[in-house]
Structures are given as C-alpha cells and as structure tokens.
Chain A
Amino acid sequence: MSTLHLAILLPFVFVIIIPLLYKYTRAIHTGWIALLVPVTLFVYFIRYFSINEAVEPTIVSIPWIPSIGIHFSLYLDSLSLLFALLITGIGSLVVLYSIFYLSKDRERLNLFYAYLMLFMGAMLGSVLSDNLMVLYSFWELTSVSSFLLIAYWYQRKRSRYGAQKAMYITMTGGFSMLLGFIILYVITDTFSIREIIASGDSLLSHSLFIPAMFFVLLGAFTKSAQFPFHIWLPDAMEAPTPISAYLHSATMVKAGVYLVARLTPIFGVLLEWSWTIIIVGMITLTMGSFNALKQYDLKALLAFSTISQLGLIMTLLGVGSLALNAGYEEHSLVFAGALVAGIFHLINHSVFKGSLFMMVGILDHETGTRDIRKLGGILHLMPISFTLTVIGAFSMAGLPPFSGFISKEMFFTSLVELTKHSSSWMAIIPVIAWIASIFTFIYCMIIIFKSFTGTYHAELLERKPHEAPFGMLASPALLSILAIALFFFPGLVTTSILEPTVKGMAPQLFAKHSDWHTHVAAWHGPNLELLMTIGIIIIGIFLFLKIDKWKTPLFELIPKRLSLFTLYDKALVNMEKFATKVTKAYMTGSTTHYLSYIFGFMIILVLATLFGTGSFILDTSQDSPIEWYELVIAIATVIAAIFILFAKSRLMSIMGVGVIGFTISLYFVIFRAPDLALTQLVVETISTALFLLCFYFLPKMKANIESIKFKLTNAIIAVGVGLTLTLMGLSAYGYRVFDPIAEYFSESYKLAGAKNIVNAILVDFRAFDTMLEIVVLFSAGVGIYTFIKLRSAGRNE
C-alpha cells in the first residue's frame, strides 16, 4: 500500500469520522474539520507538480481480486495529476465557501460533509485508477454521492426529482460503460488501461471493438451531460450551491471528459470515435448556449452554460483525437494542438465556472433570489461581488485579459484547421461554433448586467442586500486571480500539465515526434481567430442591447412538448404505467395463482429437461425388493391423501396432512435415518400447532363457489407435480454419472471428529449451506413478524 492509496482512502476515513465526531464538535462548524481533507490532499498532490517539468508517470498496485485481473492499481501521470489537483484544490475552496454558506444551526452538516467526502474519495479514485473495474466502481460511487448531495434538501420535491433523474441517467450510462469495459477485457484479457494501450493494433481487427467504443462513450456522454443526456444537469441545480459549484461544474461532470481523454490512446485511431465526439460536442455546445439565453434563474443559466462548455471541451478532444488517425497523418501535430486547447479549456472552465457558481450562491444568499427579473441595481451595494462576477463571466465569454480568451482562441484555431484539412463543407463547423460563441457572449453579459445594473427593486428582494462576508468571497477571489494569472502566465501549466498530458493521450504519435513542444500565449497577432472574437463582441453587444425585443418571440417559436425534458417525464410516466400493467397482470394477490405459477414452471422445466435431453432412465435392476410393511405404509399414505381431497372441514385436512407426515417419518425409520425421522416428527408436531393457530384467521371453506375449471386446473397441477417428482426420483436413482460423494462423507470421524455423518455434513462439510439456510429461516421469520405487526400498526392509526 503506497501513499497514493492512502490519499484516496483518506476521504473515506473521514466519511466515518465526521458523523461520529459530530455530536462532540457541534461548537465549531463541521466544515472546518472536513476542510482538513482536501487541503492535506492538495498539499500532497502539489508536491508532484513542478512548473518546469512533467510528473514522472508512476503506477502502484495492490492485488484485490487477482484471479480475474482486478487490482487496486493507481496510475499518476499529468492527466490524473491535473484532475487530482482540480478535485482537491477546488474542493478546498468549496469546503471553505460552504462553511459560510451553510448555517451551522439549521443544516445537518454531518451528512453534508460525509457525502462530500464520499464524493471526493470516489472522484479521486476514478481519475487515479488504472484498472477499469476499479475505475467503474469509483465512477458509480460518484453518481451515488451526487444523488445524495442533490437530494440533500430532500424535503423539497424538486430536489428528489432532480436527484432521481441524475441517477437514472448517469447510472444508465455507467452500466453501458461497464459493458464496454467488459468487452475490452474479452478482447485484450486485461482490465489495466496501460496494458490495453500496449496491446495496440490487435484491438483494431476485433469485431467487438467498435461496439465497445460506443458503450464506453455512452458512459462518458451521460456523465458529462452531453446531448441528449444533458437534461439531468439543470435539475441537479437543486443541490446546495457549493455542491453545484463543485460537482456539477468543476469536477464530476468532467469525469466524462476525463474518460474520453484517458481512453483516447485506445479508441482515438477510430474515425467513429472522433466524429461521434465532434458531432455530439458541437450539438451540445450550440444547444446549451442557446438554451442558456432562455433562463431567468441564474443557476439554471449556469447549468446550461456548463453543458455548452462541456460540449466545447468534448469537441476539442474529438478534433484532437484525429491526430491519431492514419488518414490525417501529415497534419497530426496540428490536431494535437486541439488536445492542448481542450485540456487548457478544461482548466479554465473549472476556474471560472467554479467562481461564477460561488458568486451566484452569494447573490442568492445575500438577496434571497437568483431570478434576474428581480435582481438589478445592486452594483453599489456589492462592489466586490460585481468585480469577481465580471472576471468570471468575461473569462467565460472569451475576453482578454482572462484565461478563457486564450482557450477560446485555440478552439477557433482548431476548428479552422479542421476545415482546412477536410472537405470544404466542414466550413460549417467553425461557423456554428462562432454562432454558439455569440450566444455564450450574450448570456455572460446577462449574468453581469441583468443582476448588478439596472433599476433596484428593494420590494422584490427577500433580504436587504449587502456585501458578502470575507470568508465567502475568499474562494471566488482566489479563482479569479487564477483566471487572470493563467492569461498572463500560461506557462504555469504548459510544460507541467498540458504538454505531457497531450503526449500521454497520443503516445503512438509522439513516439515519432518526441521533440514536439506546445506554445500557449495570449497574443497571436492579427489573425482570423482574433477577427472572429472581435466579431463576437460587436454582434454580441448589439444583440444584448436589443435582447428584450427578440428573446420572448424567439423562444415562443419552439414548442414545449418537443423538448427533451418533457420527453423524459413522459417516458418515465409511461414506463411506470407499463411496468404496473405488466406486474398487475400476474401479481394478482391470490396465493392460488402464485402457487400455480411456481408449480407450473417446475413441471415444465423439469419434464422438459428430463425428456428434452433424453436423460430419463428407468433402471430397477439395482433396487431391493419391496417388503410388505413398506407397502402398508405406502397404502396408508395414499389413503390419507385421498381422505384430504374429500375432507369437509379444514381440521380434517390438517389431520390428513399430519398422517402423511408421520407415515413418511416411518419410512425414515425403516431406512435407518434416525436424524431425518426425528426432524420430520418434530416438524410435523410444530406445523400442526402452526396450522391450528392460523386456523382461527382463515375464512370458512366454501366448496360451492369453486368451478369445474378451477378444480380441473388444480387437479392437473397436482397430478403434474406428483408425476414430475416421482419421475425425477426414479430417474435420479437409475442415473449414476459421477461417483457418489458419500465415500468422502463416510470419513467424518477422521475429518470432522463426528460419528454422526448427517450432523458432520450439516455443521462442517457443508456448513456454508446451513449458515445460509438459517439466514433464510430468520428472514422468513422476520418477514412474517413485520407483516403481522405492520398490519396491526396500520389498523391502529
């Protein structure tokens, strides 16, 4: 176990510690305890970071389930280091922010921070795992913790709805991803990403390789809220704002991006991979930025903006993966530039979006609303907040002097290059991206000016706005400084993160071009990209000024019932209806029906197997002759059975059943099985007592309402079951394929120190069976107990 393993386990330890200590630490805000974790981990991970050189990739592994190739192996390279730093760094800031955001007295902070730590550990695990199965486990754990955090205010209906939606969608994707991983395992016989990459070309020829790719992509797209799976993200905004800032913009939704980046060396050679990502990314980018314009709730606006920005990053990774494609070999280094842009924008987006979410949280906290129709004119009341919002929003809009400008320019460069090197109709891609960027510019302006300038409506605000406390402003302020710093000094991350990450994403390519270096700078001279930005600013300002004129008519054009959100709700309702219908068709609530299903299936399955496979053998040559007293007992059993059929009262039937039980125990005596005989006798006694007890509750036997059809069905089932079991018994006896295991059991005195073989089998040789049997017995008992007690409790209310 290395320190890296311990680093991942640390948050999980705090998941337990925080709730345990909660009672004793009520005096201080629980956030201060939780803050220890991300800060410690950030310090731990920053040690690997050096501005001038890349981290040396290391892999540490401890076996977990070695028999099927599952190892708890962790791989630290530039890509995972970047994510680890984002998770712990923004995690620290978010925890700090949440200390001031969440009230110590009103909220259940123990749960909040336990869930948050759970998420942090799971997220670190996802980005550091080298083993696909371990990655998958952590991946699903992030979905679970996200569910818990969205539903943190579970009293609200919208929170529960949002949490459920997020879980349905991301977990569906997760399952699909699991399928993809398993296919990869089938192809390469390993779960290790490193080893799969190393297996190289043998993958390409496999027919299942492309399906595996689509399954994996589905996982990435659902997690990163790509079209058409983006619909969960706006509803996830019901989570407390620190959570939205952390999970639903800066880290968790980037997991899909991480997965795409991590698996690019494997799938990047496929054109299908590149184009699927580019097309989905472009649609998401455009659709997200367009829908963001429609929103009045600032958080919903940010949600759509996150969707759109994730689409942008995805597109860049898609374009970049073309570098691995043989068809684009001569321009591969140009496309590698898109990968640089993608990773750089990922960093920038985490920085400015984290900051913006925190600012919206501050607005909400200080004014009591996030609705831009109510906000306005608070510029002079909250000047610091205004400044920080401007920095965040300008960075998002791609304006200098903020880091978003650089990555936006690089984005345009990549798309223009793509057009140059592909067929001419591709020119549509940069045009669409440009239009989407205009939308982005407009909604960034909305965030700033609709909430801070304009007329001040004190009567619409729930609270009297004033500047937020220092502690709340500290986190976004730090992120804003970073957004400016990265503009002036992009070299901070160029050599240390961007270059080695991109080299790691296309190892095949950079084996040939080992001297490649990237250069990220703010100023590229007056080129096409700069013109595009200037165009965006001019058109954007014009449209923003006229927004009231075109916004409402434009969105009225789109029918609401066609929206994916409505579709999801309808699908959910219809699925539930369908499931209810199917279930109600056979779950009738009648024991008679249930028993007939069980028996019917048994008859069909056993007889079909017995005769279908031709395994029925009747061999009586080995059997001993039937003695007269055995015959007498058999006749007694049959008489008792027939007696039950014609019994007029339940008491008589129970006695009949008792007789059968006792005669059977006689057989056990005759065949020298005292244990079984004893058990049978006691069971008979107890079950008779039970029957008599239940007696009191049963309705009167009514023979007259039972129709001929009902009786006939019962008769067929009864005869069928009897016949099946008899045939099975006879066949089992005549059929000796394997040596009987009895020889082994007869050694019981030597092996288990027991002279009683039956007991030795029960408690020693097959003790596992017995253990599970008593668990079943116990569950049945608890089941009956709860049924009866719950029914009584329900009646008393």
Chain B
Amino acid sequence: MKFTDVYLQTATKILVFIIMTFSIYVLFAGHHNPGGGFIGGLITASALVLLYVAFDLQTVREVIPVDFKKLAAAGVLVSVLTGVGSLVLGVPFLSQTFNYFDLPFLGKTELATAMIFDLGVYMCVVGTTMTIITSISEDDI
C-alpha cells in the first residue's frame, strides 16, 4: 500500500524537524523546566510516527537506519550503568550528583549525572515505542 499525499508529505518534512528539535529541547530542559527523558522520548516517537504516516515504512527505514530494539536496550543499559557507576565510586547504587562548570561558548553550565540517566530513559522510550509501532504495522495477516 503506497499512497502519496503531497500536502502531508511537504508539511511533514518541515514539521518533523520542528518536533524533533522541540523534543531534544524538552529532554535537556527537563532539569529545570517541564520536560525530561520520558516526555522527550514520546515527542520524538510522535515525530517518527508522523513520518511513518506521511511516507511508508520502507522509505523511513532507509532515511533513519536505526534498529529501535537495540536503541531501547542501549537506553536501559545506559540507565543501569549510570547506577553501577556510583557503585564504582563507592556510593549507593544510582546516587546522582551535579556540579557547575565553565564551558566554552556556553558559559557557566550545570552538568548532572541525572542527565545521563535521563538520556537512557529517553532512548528506551523512543526505542520501545517505535519497536511496538513498527512491529505491529509490519505485520500482515
């Protein structure tokens, strides 16, 4: 089944970038403003769903050659390893810490280990959601 909706496709091409940018913003803004890994992940997933709706599975797979199962697994791994990292440093599992650094261009920036953890959540949410959606849509009766 291949259908072409020029309006939808043209709009999608622009919208996806906006949604994607927003989702990344939401992911990183989560520390101080509404957002976070879970929401960011869902927004990214919705952008991808939009792509799938506007184009077809095959095309999207060529454009974004990501194995979502592996992405989800990697996400879980990142989160768990963040926790293990604190064990290595001799503090209880999953202890988070933060500090302020002077970075070039960005100025004084707060860096938190929680951010890495949140990145894991983000990857897992995107990966899982897309795994479910693509595997259902790939299935044919």
Interface residues of A, Cβ cutoff 8 Å to B: 674-675, 678-679, 682-683, 685-686, 689-690, 693-694, 697, 752-756, 758-760, 762-764, 767-768, 770-771, 774-775, 777-778, 780-782, 784-785, 788-789, 791-792
Chain B, interface size: which category?
A: 35 or more
Contact A785 B46 (CB under 8 A): no
B 21-51 contacts with A by CB, 8 A = 26, 30-39, 42-43, 45-46, 49
Q: How many A-B residue pairs have CB under 8 A?
A: 148
Is residue B112 within 8 Å, beta carbon to beta carbon, of the partner chain?
yes
Contact B45 A686 (CB under 8 A): yes
Cβ contacts B60-96/A at 8 Å (1 or 0 each): 0000000001001101100110010000000001101
Q: Of A754, A770, A771, which contacts B32 at CB under 8 A?
A: A754
What separation, in Å, do the CA atoms of A780 and B125 have in the docked complex?
A: 11
Given contacts A774-B76, A774-B120, contact A752 B96 (CB under 8 A): yes
Q: Of A685, A753, A792, which contacts B110 at CB under 8 A?
A: A753
What separation, in Å, do the CA atoms of A775 and B94 have in the docked complex?
A: 15
What separation, in Å, do the CA atoms of A767 and B120 have in the docked complex?
A: 12
Is residue B53 within 8 Å, beta carbon to beta carbon, of the partner chain?
yes
CB nearest to A775 among chain B residues: B76
What separation, in Å, do the CA atoms of A755 and B36 have in the docked complex?
A: 12
What separation, in Å, do the CA atoms of A789 and B138 have in the docked complex?
A: 9
Residues of B within 8 A of A682 (CB): 39, 42-43, 46
Contact B80 A752 (CB under 8 A): no
Is residue B54 within 8 Å, beta carbon to beta carbon, of the partner chain?
no
Label chain B's interface by main secondary structure.
helix
Closest 7 CB pairs of A and B: A781-B128, A753-B98, A674-B34, A755-B32, A682-B42, A763-B114, A774-B124
Is residue B103 within 8 Å, beta carbon to beta carbon, of the partner chain?
no
Q: Of A675, A689, A760, A788, which contacts B53 at CB under 8 A?
A: A689
Q: Of B72, B118, B128, B136, which contacts A694 at CB under 8 A?
A: B136
Is residue B141 within 8 Å, beta carbon to beta carbon, of the partner chain?
yes
What separation, in Å, do the CA atoms of A756 and B49 have in the docked complex?
A: 28
Residues of B within 8 A of A791 (CB): 139
Contact A759 B35 (CB under 8 A): yes
What separation, in Å, do the CA atoms of A780 and B128 have in the docked complex?
A: 8
Residues of B within 8 A of A693 (CB): 133, 136-137
Contact A771 B94 (CB under 8 A): yes
Contact A785 B124 (CB under 8 A): no
What separation, in Å, do the CA atoms of A770 and B36 have in the docked complex?
A: 12
Q: Of B45, B69, B121, which contacts A782 at CB under 8 A?
A: B69
Given contacts A685-B46, A756-B36, contact A778 B94 (CB under 8 A): no
> Other than the known A675-B34, A756-B30, A756-B36, what 20 A-B pairs have Cβ atoms closer than 8 Å?
A674-B34, A675-B36, A678-B34, A682-B43, A690-B132, A690-B136, A753-B31, A753-B98, A754-B114, A756-B33, A758-B34, A763-B37, A774-B120, A777-B125, A777-B128, A778-B75, A780-B128, A780-B132, A781-B131, A785-B132
CB nearest to B32 among chain A residues: A755
Residues of A within 8 A of B125 (CB): 774, 777
Contact B80 A763 (CB under 8 A): no
Residues of B within 8 A of A768 (CB): 83, 93-94
Residues of A within 8 A of B94 (CB): 767-768, 771
Is residue B10 within 8 Å, beta carbon to beta carbon, of the partner chain?
no
Contact A778 B76 (CB under 8 A): yes
CB nearest to A754 among chain B residues: B31
CB nearest to B45 among chain A residues: A686
Residues of A within 8 A of B42 (CB): 679, 682-683, 686
What separation, in Å, do the CA atoms of A641 and B120 have in the docked complex?
A: 37
Given contacts A770-B121, A774-B76, A781-B72, contact A755 B131 (CB under 8 A): no
Q: How far is the CB of B125 from chain A (nearest CB, A)?
A: 7
Given contacts A756-B32, A763-B118, contact A778 B73 (CB under 8 A): yes
Is residue B135 within 8 Å, beta carbon to beta carbon, of the partner chain?
yes
Contact B30 A778 (CB under 8 A): no
What separation, in Å, do the CA atoms of A775 and B128 have in the docked complex?
A: 10
Is residue B12 within 8 Å, beta carbon to beta carbon, of the partner chain?
no
Residues of B within 8 A of A759 (CB): 30-31, 35-36, 118
Q: How far is the CB of A698 from chain B (nearest CB, A)?
A: 11
Given contacts A689-B53, A763-B121, contact A774 B32 (CB under 8 A): no
Q: How far is the CB of A516 from chain B (nearest CB, A)?
A: 53
Contact B112 A785 (CB under 8 A): no
